[in-house]
Chains A and B, each alone.
Chain A
Amino acid sequence: MSAIFPKWTNRLPLLMLAGLILIGTGVTAGVWYYFTPKYARVGYQPVQPVAFSHAIHVDQLGMDCRYCHSAVEKSWFSNLPASGTCMNCHSQVLKDDPRLALVRQSAATGKPIPWVQIHRTPDYVYFNHSVHVNRGISCVHCHGQINVMDEVYHAKPLSMAFCLECHRDPAAFIRPPDKVTDLTWQWSADPRQNAELQRANGQKFVHDWKVESLQHCSACHR
């Protein structure tokens, strides 16, 4: 009498177990790698209605962020400039350039330019620019090297873990408040010395200004 189950079926449970472990590992690795703001947000670079370049205006012309984002020190919200702000210069510079047609039209009619928002925290999070900027936290920590971007992209995850990494130890990031908008600024060109100076001066700032290490939930979820 031939066997109902052939011999190889003896190994079936083992094979199934191995398969499940492999699939499980694959799915876990996939979720770990992909289901995080580090993947979902970082690199988001929408097409903007006007080909505005921070590299030209900040790096080449040496403009300060606050010429355009003028509310960043005063408000929780860092505004985008009105098209009138662009026209301060572009009424004379590149006066008839087709790339700026939308800006001119917007300044003339008052219809806003539909810029696409890139950075946006969920609505259950309370965030405030002025607190950070006035405490010597530079734009570069949360937005990356905007000064060399031709098109802005989302450079940092801005997840809760990211915020907390700094809130646990602000001394590692604080710099003099007048250097906040200078994104290439460093304590020293030598990386080791830079780290040492950062630590020493950071701790001094934290002590002198009584900077708190805000980790309680109601700091950001209020």
Chain B
Amino acid sequence: MRIFLTLLAVVVVLVVAIAGFRGSLSRRTPIEVFPDMDRQLKLRPQTPNGFFANGRSSQMPVPGTIARSTPLQTAAGPVFPYEDAAVNTGRLPGKTNFVDLNPMTVDLRLLERGRERYTINCAPCHGALGDGNGITRKYGMAVIGNLHDKRMVQMPDGEIFNTLSYGKGLMQGYAGQIDVPDRWAVVAYVRALQLARLGTPEDVPASAQAALRK
């Protein structure tokens, strides 16, 4: 009996020593206890896949393909993503001139959305105020555009749209991360930031003056 008990104790200690405790960090791939149907032959995004020549499961759309079913709601009515319209290109239809005014209906909802998207995507570099003093400046990003430059204030909305979609100079484009309506929301918010910087206390509506003076 004594031998058996010692053996049992040794086995328990061995198992615990080899297997460790719950939650301890490990480099080993997790064991699947019942692996039935856990891994099926289907495509998952961003995984290697031998079917396609470039070895990936996520493929780029064939050049020229467009999403066609969902029109965007602009101030001038619905516009499909394949149309040559200012909302899609940032330019006047048929021309290369940038459109002057934001084609979306600019209201509080758009600005709120713009603020959220700006904070996520632009603030790390351009800073919460748009003056180019984002956190990355401290770590060696030397030239970050100041959105309050006179040139930027006078820039047409379409050009800002174009810059943030496809990038310019040292800044890369955000077309892949931000959808078209959200990009216009960011443009509207950048305009709001510029207006806030250029405004005077007299521009604040009378109802909000008291809060400002405090």
Contacts and interface: CB of A to CB of B under 8 A. Distances in A.
Interface of A: 15, 19, 22-23, 26, 30, 33-35, 37-47, 61-64, 66-67, 70, 74, 77, 79-80, 82, 84-85, 87-89, 91-95, 112, 114, 117, 122-124, 153-154, 178
A84 B56 CA distance: 17
17 contacts: A23-B8, A41-B30, A61-B124, A64-B120, A67-B121, A74-B179, A82-B176, A84-B172, A88-B171, A92-B136, A94-B140, A95-B140, A117-B47, A122-B32, A122-B39, A123-B38, A178-B116
Nearest to A46: B27
Interface string B27-63: 1111111000111101011111000000010000000
B22 A123 contact: no
A44 B141 contact: no
Contacts of B48: 114
A34 to B, nearest CB: 6
B42 A123 contact: yes
Contacts of B208: none
Nearest to A39: B22
A26 B8 contact: yes
A199 B37 CA distance: 38
A92 B26 CA distance: 35
B4 to A, nearest CB: 6
B30 A92 contact: no
Contacts of A154: 30
A30 B8 contact: no
Contacts of B179: 74
Nearest to A79: B46
A206 to B, nearest CB: 23
A2 B145 CA distance: 104
Contacts of A80: 46
A33 B22 contact: yes
Per DSSP, chain A at the interface is loop
A45 B214 CA distance: 52
A34 B19 CA distance: 8
A138 to B, nearest CB: 16
Nearest to A56: B139
Contact of B37 (A41, A114, A123): A123
Contacts of A117: 47
B177 interface: yes
B25 interface: yes
Interface residues of B, number: 49
Interface of B: 1, 4, 8, 11-12, 15, 19, 22-33, 37-40, 42, 44-48, 56, 116, 119-121, 124-125, 135-136, 139-142, 170-172, 176-179
Interface centre among A37, A67, A178 (most CB of B within 10 A): A67
Contacts of A91: 170, 172
B56 A124 contact: no
Contacts of A93: 136, 139-141
A140 to B, nearest CB: 16
A47 B27 contact: yes
Contacts of A34: 19
Contacts of A123: 37-40, 42, 44
B116 A15 contact: no
Contacts of A22: 8
Contact of A44 (B29, B37, B39, B45): B29
Contacts of A33: 22
A61 B135 contact: yes
B30 A40 contact: yes
Given A67-B124, A93-B140, A45 B25 contact: yes
B124 A44 contact: no
A33 B172 CA distance: 50
A92 B142 contact: yes
B32 to A, nearest CB: 8
Contacts of B42: 123
A52 to B, nearest CB: 15
B30 A44 contact: yes
A45 B141 CA distance: 32
